[in-house]
Amino acid sequence: MSPATATTKGFAVKCILCGEEGNVHVDLHDVASFHCNECDGDFTLDDVKAVLSRWQTCIAWLESAPALEE
């Protein structure tokens, strides 16, 4: 029987400050606080929500564009 392989669990998110993937850590004492080991930056859940809100507004506008007729 072959040995079981370890599986890493998590979320492949990018730092909202530097864009590096895989270096964002959550503070288990305050789960609304994040730290990026790549840029040594700290940000909050509210910061993430603000970034997402701006993108959601942009996406809604893009989706309202009319289809081009060929």
Contacts (Cβ under 8 Å, ≥6 apart) of 39:
15, 17, 18, 20
Domain assignment present for residue 51? The answer is yes
Residue 55 lies in a domain: yes
Containing structural domain, residue 59: 24-63
Domain membership of residue 31 (yes or no) is yes
The pLDDT value given to residue 63: 94
Residue 47 lies in a domain: yes
Predicted pLDDT of residue 12: 87
- Look at residue 6 and tell me if it is in a domain: no
11 part of a folded domain:
no
Helix, strand, coil share (%) of the chain residues, nearest 5: 25, 15, 55
Number of domains in the chain: 1
Paired tokens of 18: 């530097």
Asked if pLDDT for residue 69 goes beyond 80, the answer is yes
pTM over 0.95: no
Question: Pairing state of beta strands 42-44 and 24-26?
Answer: unpaired
